[in-house]
Amino acid sequence: MSLLTSAVSVVTTAGLTGRFGFTASAVCSVSDNPPTLLVCMNTQSGSHAHFMHNKTLSVNVLSAQHEHISKAFAAKISPEERFSHGEWSELETGAPILDDALVSFDCQIEQVEEVGTHAIVICRVLAIQQNHIHPSLVYFNRAYHAVGQEQAA
């Protein structure tokens, strides 16, 4: 699996119990009409129940300059410490959006299917925030890499 190159995203949610998030490499587009994403989430993670309860999430696609944010959201630190990295705001659902992510998708969870240790979460995109295009952060062979060139948004 380490040889499957993947874009790196931070997936977040917020609700009465606070803000939660994790680093994900298993995210992909399902449909553009309606705009829908698929996110794979470990059911044993401490934040899984919060995502299921809130029924919302955001997918924040990281640029190469965000490697430290990816590492923070993958570390065993508190949610408050994770969100101290980067500047965060909200769109429609209240799920945290990384202000300078390549693109952020604000979503409502519509369907969940459990397979092995993970939940496959199907999400309807309700709002999108796109920023200046920097090289994308990808994960390949257990290491981070930058892919792409700078472009105006």
Instruction: For residue range 33-82, list pLDDT tens digits in order.
Output: 999 999 999 999 999 999 999 999 999 999 999 999 999 999 999 999 99
At 133 the pLDDT is 86
Q: For 111-145, b where at least 16 C-beta lie within 10 A, e where not — what string?
A: ebeeeeebbebbbbbbbebeeeebbbbbbeeeeee
What is the pTM (predicted TM-score) of this model?
0.95
Is residue 153 very low, low, confident or very high in pLDDT (cuts 50, 70, 90)? low
- Residue 4 — φ and ψ, nearest 5°? -90, 105
DSSP calls for 51-106: HHHH-EEEEEEPBGGGHHHHHHHHSSS-HHHHHTSS-EE--SS---EETTSSEEEE
User: What percentage of the chain carries pLDDT values higher than 70?
Assistant: 99
Instruction: For residue range 49-62, list pLDDT tens digits in order.
Output: 999 999 999 999 99
At 98 the pLDDT is 98
Q: Is 150's pLDDT higher than 80?
A: no
Instruction: For residue range 23-33, list pLDDT tens digits in order.
Output: 999 999 999 99
Average pLDDT on 7-22 reads: 96
Q: Please report, for the chain, the start and end positions of each structural domain, with discontinuous segments joined by +.
A: 6-147
Sequence-separated (6 or more) residues with CB below 8 Å from residue 115? none
CATH annotation of 6-147? 2.30.110.10
At 152 the pLDDT is 65
Calculate ∠ Cα 106-109-111, nearest 5°.
Answer: 145
At 1 the pLDDT is 83
